[in-house]
Structure 1
């Protein structure tokens, strides 16, 4: 695995985006660990649920409907949701105020259970995420995929990014770039590919001193179809 120097990636991204100042304006900065730890369990469940519903659907349509989801699912508070019977979940999945998709609605129940169990072990879901080692961020992706429901692929990582967690994302542009340098070979979500990605991003972090979020976004801006 022979990686391009991060300075070269950065300069190419800056040229494509109209200069360094313009590029910096496009970067989103993650929250600090204390702020991540302080996020309440209901906000994690809301974020995961929104991304699950946005998968394969118009993000805007889901966002516009979200106040109805918040109302129907008790503000995504874990305790009340865990007390619902199967019959209650069935009724909620057919409620006309939300997007009626049975398996996506049932993922709310499964992910509420995941968040509850993480809270027992770590104090809260936010504390678990905040203390997850940055050099193994894909381990957190795999945790969400294994213990949650419908959080595999990019759904989990996009949810984490939305919540301010420092993570790279294997968007189509980033994945294509990493494949061009053989960081990813074969399946994108194999343990080998994810370990190679962790290694590459750790290397660029050492070179640049930047967070994973910035590195990921700069790589995306350096390639693909997103010139100014």
Structure 2
């Protein structure tokens, strides 16, 4: 994977070069550990919307998604009705895909169940933190992502295939997939070293 030069002259992961908006996302979000359930739910929802599309499309529409989906507050989204589905299908600011919209609502309900089971979404997903390290950005899924995908599907989650789940894990810091030469890799590694994964209850 190639590197690109960032605005400060330091090297970044090559995918940042696609659009300028990728640099702040890459530098401050991607690969840094997250424990907040709302953020975890938002990200796995947006990864589901990204399926078949580019992250550029989703990132550009992220604020619209947040407005449409009650800022991805789990309990609020779990109460969405068919009227909300129809409302969202009329929202040109998001990806208007009925199956994906309905999946987010379903997954909010499944998230409520998971929180009752494990104490938090974080407590559940961090059990699948990457243990075996492959060269950065050399794969589109992993053994841990496949296992987490199976566990979520078993609990009724939708649009959580292994590739989608691996992208979620990359973004939420369950694996540090920054390029070896990327200036942000060490920062993400330091954040992970200082991070205490939540325990499943």
Gaps of 5+ in 2: 4-10, 14-25, 132-142, 178-188, 190-201
Deviation at 1:133, TM superposition (A): 7.0
In the alignment, the residues of structure 2 paired with residue 25 and residue 57 of structure 1 have an alpha-carbon distance, to the nearest angstrom, of: 23
Higher helix content, 1 or 2: 1
Aligned to 1:54: 50
In the alignment, the residues of structure 2 paired with residue 53 and residue 130 of structure 1 have an alpha-carbon distance, to the nearest angstrom, of: 22
Kept in 2, the 8 Å contact 1:47–1:159? The answer is: yes
Pairing 1:164–2:173 present: yes
Q: How does 1:90-169 map to 2 (within 5 A)?
A: 90-132=86-128, 137=144, 138-146=146-154, 147-166=156-175
Deviation at 1:126, TM superposition (A): 0.4
Superposition RMSD in Å: 3.0
Deviation at 1:90, TM superposition (A): 2.3
- Cα distance, 1:43–1:133 mapped onto 2, change above 3 Å: closer
TM-score (norm 1): 0.54
Aligned to 2:78: 82
- Cα distance, 1:119–1:97 mapped onto 2, change above 3 Å: same
Deviation at 1:167, TM superposition (A): 8.1
What do residues 83-139 of structure 1 show as CA deviations (whole Å, max 9, x unaligned)? 222222222222222221111111111221222111111111001122347567232
Kept in 1, the 8 Å contact 2:42–2:72? The answer is: yes
124-133 or 77-86: bigger deviation = 124-133
- Cα distance, 1:85–1:139 mapped onto 2, change above 3 Å: same
- Cα distance, 1:72–1:142 mapped onto 2, change above 3 Å: same
97-106 or 141-150: bigger deviation = 141-150
Gaps of 5+ in 1: 1-12, 18-23, 169-210, 212-228
Kept in 1, the 8 Å contact 2:44–2:168? The answer is: yes
TM-score (norm 2): 0.60
Pairing 1:65–2:73 present: no
* Larger gyration radius, structure 1 or structure 2: 1
